[in-house]
Chain A
Amino acid sequence: QVQLQESGPGLAKPSETLSLTCTVSGGSISTDFWSWIRQPPGKGLEWIGYIYYSRGTNYNPSHNYNPSLKSRVTISADTSKNQFSLKLTSVTAADTAVYYCARATGLVDPFDSWGQGALVTVSS
């Protein structure tokens, strides 16, 4: 059974970069689709983007980002550590949220495994 665990600083300063890492166990990030999803306190869920490895691209990672965040988001992966990461630049208070990493087994599949979430507060 795949397990995901987010880690990273719980505080980011306005205009700086938010960085989080998701460590995957019980599965390989070289397969499946690995997403970041966030939830502002007391609010709903927003998909940020995903990374996946396609055999058709010689196992180079591909990405898909939510257009609402695309200009500020980078998702990368380290297959040797079975981790993938999120960077969100130029953060403001509106980026304060619990950030979840999650897995989908296919391009158009639901998120069947989630991490516990990491609260990141943007404040000076």
Chain B
Amino acid sequence: DIVMTQSADSLAVSLGERATINCKSSQSVLYSINNKNYLAWYQQKPGQPPKLLISWASTRESGVPDRFSGSGSGTDFTLTISSLQTEDVAVYYCQQYSSSPFTFGPGTKVDIK
């Protein structure tokens, strides 16, 4: 199984400041055939299901604010919230979908400082 880790259980950021969440996979999720990283980011607010924010490591889903961006390749990935808003308080999960069983990171809780 590919093990996903996230560098922080939680972080607190001031409103309007940048939040950076790191994710690492135990094996590369980059396929050289198509040069795509099979890595997604989800946002989960209390009492709600996860919401897909970013797929293919850096492709924002329709309707996701452009303050959210994803980067990285291979085994190391980052989700950046460029200017934290109150509605961004949530837990963020990375997930690999390159191979079964599909696995998620443990989550990073983002709060307002």
What residues of chain A have their CB less than 8 Å away from a CB belonging to chain B?
44-47, 64, 66-68, 100, 102, 104, 108-112, 114-117
Task: Tell me the minimal C-beta distance from B60 to chain A in angstroms.
Answer: 12
Is the CB–CB distance between B49 and A114 below 8 Å? yes
Contacts of A109 in B (CB 8 A): 55, 97
Can you report 6 residue pairs joining A to B where beta carbons are below 8 Å apart?
A: A44-B93, A47-B104, A110-B97, A111-B52, A112-B55, A116-B49
B interface, over-half SS? loop
A108: contacting residue among B1, B97, B104, B107, CB under 8 A:
B97
Min C-beta distance of A47 to chain B, whole Å? 4
Residues of B whose CB lies within 8 Å of any CB of A are 1, 38, 40, 42, 48-52, 55, 61, 93, 95, 97-107
The answer for the CA separation of A108 and B102 in the assembled complex, in Å, is: 9
Q: Do A112 and B93 touch (CB < 8 A)?
A: no
Asked whether B98 lies within 8 Å of A68 as measured between CB atoms, the reply is no
16 new A-B contacts, CB < 8 A, other than A66-B101, A114-B49, are A44-B105, A44-B106, A45-B50, A45-B95, A46-B104, A47-B104, A67-B1, A67-B101, A108-B98, A110-B52, A110-B55, A111-B50, A111-B52, A111-B95, A115-B49, A117-B49
Q: Smallest distance from the beta carbon of A27 to chain B beta carbons, Å?
A: 15
Considering only CB atoms, which chain B residue lies closest to A114 in the complex? B49
Contacts of B105 in A (CB 8 A): 44
Residue from A67, A102, A109, A111 whose CB has the most chain B CB atoms within 10 Å: A111
A45-B93 in contact (CB<8A) = yes
CA distance A46 to B3 in the complex (A): 12
Known contacts A111-B52, A114-B50, A45 near B104 by CB under 8 Å: yes
